[in-house]
A and B are shown apart, each in its own frame.
Chain A
Amino acid sequence: MSAAAARRADPHQLGHGEVPVSERGPAPKRIVVAYGFWIFLLSDFIMFASFFAGYAVLVSATADGPAPRDLFDLKLVAWETAALLLSSFACGMAGVAMAVRNVRWFQIGMAATALLGTAFLAMELYEFVHLIGEGAGPSRSAFLSAFFALVGCHGLHVLLGLLWLSTMMAQVWAKGFRDDIIRRTQCFMLFWHALDIIWVALFTVVYLLGAGAA
């Protein structure tokens, strides 16, 4: 069997292929780096899972204070969700631009990502200030402590993501699409999409289930 025919029969060389897996040497750096970051993201998910578990256990411990259905404004949450989802989409567009090494569209996509992420963060900050002003701050009840810890942790991730994002924009602007900078940017994009996944769990468990528990 010729080499090309062998490859067609077993395109990913899941069988032994021409060179055994054990003798193909280390994986390329772009795979090692992104895979390592993927493992980090999964550990981040596990950390968020414990915050979620804490919230779910404490959600009814309101200490005669406000309950979820008294507090949350679903309209604001819908806007936050839209901002973060569109931000994730813009980040994907920047990724497509990076794949074809188009600096202008990359920067436009990243700027849109940053703008929408900032809008999300501003809305979340507004909600927090509003809640604390109503006397529903994190010290009011165990439920509110868990709420501020969970949502605040996600917000903190978004804030760090924005810092990382602007760093990547600056690096690409100053140094161009160097290999290491591309790897960093790809890790950032994984991070940003992962934050959107956590937000899906968040708006479902905290806001929608909270409001629907009436």
Chain B
Amino acid sequence: MSTQEQKAPGDSVPEDDLAPGEEGQGGAVLRGVRGYLIGLVLATVLTAASFWAAGTGAIYGPGVPVALIALAVAQMGVHLVFFLHVTTGPDNTNNVLALAFGVLIVALVLVGSLWIMAHLDHNIMPMDEMMRMQR
């Protein structure tokens, strides 16, 4: 083995996958703290932006919910990456695939419920009309 191939200490390549919540190449306290600090700052900025967007009149009314949902999704992403350490790295494939499946089911439950209930609501007979028919 030539000297070129020897790795510097602390430069080790993880042999296994990473568990959810586990940071790659742990050890360095500074790096860990820095990651959480970046996450905290980003989350704070996004939260402040959400509260601002809800209260301000600067955004076109019907656009406010869209802005709020976009900000919320962004913040969930920040939490996943910086707090839960779910990344797109090859050592995280299993965690991300499970997450993707979870997100699929969550989306089906939400969109499906809202869609079906909106249709039912639209097609159902109003209560007073129903009363009149029963007479």
Contact = CB atoms under 8 A, between A and B. Distances in A.
Interface of A: 2, 4-5, 7-8, 11-12, 14, 27-28, 30-31, 33-35, 37-39, 42-43, 45-46, 49-50, 52-54, 56-57, 74, 78, 81-82, 85-86, 88-89, 92-93, 95-96, 99-100, 186, 189-190, 193-194, 196-197, 200-201, 203-205, 208-209, 211-212
Contacts of A4: 1, 5-7
Given A4-B1, A212-B54, A53 B114 contact: yes
Contacts, number: 152
9 contacts: A12-B90, A27-B17, A45-B102, A50-B113, A56-B114, A57-B113, A96-B33, A186-B21, A208-B50
Nearest to B5: A4
Contact of A99 (B18, B27, B54, B65): B27
A45 B102 CA distance: 8
B101 interface: yes
Most buried by A among B7, B101, B113: B113
A21 B51 CA distance: 48
B21 A85 contact: no
Interface of B: 1, 5-7, 13-14, 16-23, 26-27, 29, 32-33, 36, 39-40, 43-44, 47, 50-51, 53-55, 64-65, 68-69, 71-72, 75-76, 79-80, 83-84, 90-91, 94-95, 98-99, 101-102, 105-106, 109-110, 112-114, 117
B36 to A, nearest CB: 4
A30 B19 contact: yes
A194 B84 CA distance: 8
A35 B80 CA distance: 15
Given A85-B44, A193-B83, A54 B64 contact: no
B113 A56 contact: yes
Given A27-B16, A209-B65, 13 more contacts: A28-B16, A31-B17, A35-B94, A38-B20, A46-B109, A74-B51, A85-B47, A93-B33, A96-B33, A201-B76, A204-B68, A209-B68, A212-B54
Given A38-B20, A193-B83, A93 B44 contact: no
A48 to B, nearest CB: 8
A85 B77 CA distance: 14
A73 to B, nearest CB: 12
Given A42-B102, A78-B51, A85-B47, A193 B79 contact: yes
A135 to B, nearest CB: 24
Given A46-B106, A52-B110, A212-B64, A81 B54 contact: no
Contacts of B68: 204, 208-209, 212
A208 B95 contact: no
B20 A49 contact: no
